[in-house]
């Protein structure tokens, strides 16, 4: 039997045991798992060193090597992350709805685990532990499919987690690493409906599209954010500039950073906005009028409006009004996070009503689209699709429900 099928079978068995554990049993297991990761720090760092050496030999970029790198502090953060998951409220067992039918049937819907989750992700080894601890906390078994470049690190982390769990109420088999990282085996994993209840891809657009295009297992799509800020005519100078700078620069490489600012043509502070962004090192790409007026603004091509730069580059366009802003976002946006800066209540209403996205902001930065910032405590990803969960996904997003119907002999007439 292949590694994939063998591990998938074990996960399914383990998920049944896991689903009926109490929150105390799960929390005790996670605490012990965190302790054991801390205790095995040296060995994990050694294994990570092997990945880094391989990466350097293969000419991996500094940025990628940094994503792959574990340090003593980063392992401390990983351990701390598991402890934070322990502190979260257990979503399992919650009664979602309860009602009685005229025939006396009493119906309850109750929150239960999804079952087995397939995580597909790229080089950051911290995802291995973050995802595992969230899945376990919500009563799910997890198949981890990381990238080849992090294989030594992932094997070490999973070995430590499994060994720790083996001494707890959570079966060690509830966490499995797919060590065969071939493309063929990935494709097979994406179609393993018999064993996997959901796939969660986390990584770049290429990874996510590969999962969406090839999967028959339901996918919780995360990721791509071509986010906008619309600065309305009535926007205050300081607030608009502060928010635009924050949303672009506080962390340009993430999906909730903005890529385009749309500015009402009569807003009086365009020069101040552009100067401020330019002075902070942002490369600006504007429409014809802006490029003709400001020497440091390059002219934007059509492609710029759809580009997720993930870098200190920003497209800027003057628009007639909120309606043109909504149309632009509708055409080029990715339904992630969109903001309006305005003191005009009617325009805010039109924006909230007219823009189709996971999260809409009035007078705040798009950077708040995040599980922790939303108060979910931790996140398994940010959903950019409309089914099941939309926007930041906390523990509840990796649960489902079952209906429990109590009768006293009812039959259907």
Residues near a copy of itself (CB under 8 A) = 16, 19-20, 99, 101, 105, 107, 112, 114-115, 193, 197-198, 212-213, 216, 218-221, 236, 239, 242-243, 246-247, 250, 330, 352-354, 356-365, 367-368, 373-375, 385-388, 390-391, 400-412
For a copy of itself, the closer CB: 182 or 410 = 410
Helix (H) or strand (E) holding 261: strand 258-264
For a copy of itself, the closer CB: 183 or 402 = 402
In the complex, least distance from residue 388 CB atom to a copy of itself, rounded to whole angstroms: 4
For a copy of itself, the closer CB: 22 or 148 = 22
**Pairing outcome for strands 283-286 and 337-341:** unpaired
For a copy of itself, the closer CB: 94 or 242 = 242
In the complex, least distance from residue 350 CB atom to a copy of itself, rounded to whole angstroms: 10
For a copy of itself, the closer CB: 55 or 115 = 115
Contact of 121 with 151, CB cutoff 8 Å: no
In the complex, least distance from residue 2 CB atom to a copy of itself, rounded to whole angstroms: 21
In the complex, least distance from residue 58 CB atom to a copy of itself, rounded to whole angstroms: 32
Distance CA 116, CA 125 (A): 20
For a copy of itself, the closer CB: 77 or 108 = 108
Contact of 220 with 385, CB cutoff 8 Å: yes
In the complex, least distance from residue 170 CB atom to a copy of itself, rounded to whole angstroms: 17
Cα torsion 128, 12, 178, 203: sign = negative
Distance CA 114, CA 139 (A): 8
Contact of 410 with 104, CB cutoff 8 Å: yes
Q: What is the token pair recorded at 116?
A: 């087995």
In the complex, least distance from residue 154 CB atom to a copy of itself, rounded to whole angstroms: 26
For a copy of itself, the closer CB: 153 or 210 = 210
Print burial letters for 380-403: b (CB count within 10 Å at least 16), e (below 16): bbbbbeeeebbbbbbbebbbeeee
- CA 300 and chain centroid, separation: 30
| Angle at alpha carbon of residue 174, lines to 169 and 180, rounded to 5° | 150
Give the SS3 label for residue 262: strand
In the complex, least distance from residue 57 CB atom to a copy of itself, rounded to whole angstroms: 37
């Amino acid at each position: 039997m292949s590694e994939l099928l063998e591990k998938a079978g074990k996960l399914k068995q383990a998920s049944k045991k896991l689903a009926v554990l109490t929150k105390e049993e799960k929390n005790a297991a996670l605490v012990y798992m965190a302790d054991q990761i801390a205790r095995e720090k040296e060995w994990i760092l050694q294994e990570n060193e092997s990945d880094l050496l391989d990466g350097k030999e293969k000419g991996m970029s500094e940025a990628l090597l940094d994503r792959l790198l574990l340090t003593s502090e980063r392992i401390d953060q990983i351990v701390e992350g598991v402890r934070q998951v322990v502190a979260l409220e257990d979503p399992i067992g919650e009664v979602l709805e309860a009602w009685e039918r005229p025939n006396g049937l009493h119906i309850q819907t109750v929150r239960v685990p999804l079952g087995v989750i397939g995580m597909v992700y790229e080089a950051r080894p911290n995802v291995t532990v973050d995802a595992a601890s969230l899945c376990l906390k919500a009563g799910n078994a997890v198949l981890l499919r990381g990238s080849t470049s992090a294989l030594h690190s992932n094997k070490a982390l999973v070995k430590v987690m499994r060994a720790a769990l083996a001494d707890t109420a959570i079966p060690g088999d509830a966490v499995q690493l797919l060590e065969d990282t071939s493309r063929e085996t990935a494709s097979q994993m994406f179609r393993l409906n018999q064993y996997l209840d959901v796939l969660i891809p986390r990584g770049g657009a290429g990874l996510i599209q590969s999962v969406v295009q090839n999967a028959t297992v339901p996918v919780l799509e995360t990721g791509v954010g071509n986010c906008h800020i619309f600065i309305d005519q009535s926007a205050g100078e300081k607030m608009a500039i502060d928010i635009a700078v924050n949303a672009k620069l506080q962390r340009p490489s993430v999906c909730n950073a903005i890529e385009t600012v749309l500015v009402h043509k009569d807003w009086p502070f365009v020069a101040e906005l552009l100067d401020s962004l330019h002075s902070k090192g942002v490369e600006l790409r504007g429409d014809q009028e802006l490029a003709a007026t400001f020497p440091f603004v390059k002219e934007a091509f059509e492609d710029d409006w759809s580009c997720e730069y993930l870098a200190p580059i920003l497209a800027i366009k003057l628009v007639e009004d909120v309606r043109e802003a909504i149309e632009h976002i509708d055409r080029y946006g990715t339904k992630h996070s969109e903001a309006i800066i305005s003191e005009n209540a009617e325009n805010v209403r039109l924006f909230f009503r007219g823009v189709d996205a996971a999260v809409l902001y009035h007078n705040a930065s798009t950077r708040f689209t995040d599980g922790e910032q939303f108060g979910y405590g931790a996140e398994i990803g940010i959903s950019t699709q409309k089914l099941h969960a939309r926007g930041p996904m906390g523990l509840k997003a990796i649960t489902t429900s079952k209906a429990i119907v109590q009768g006293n002999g009812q039959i259907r007439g």
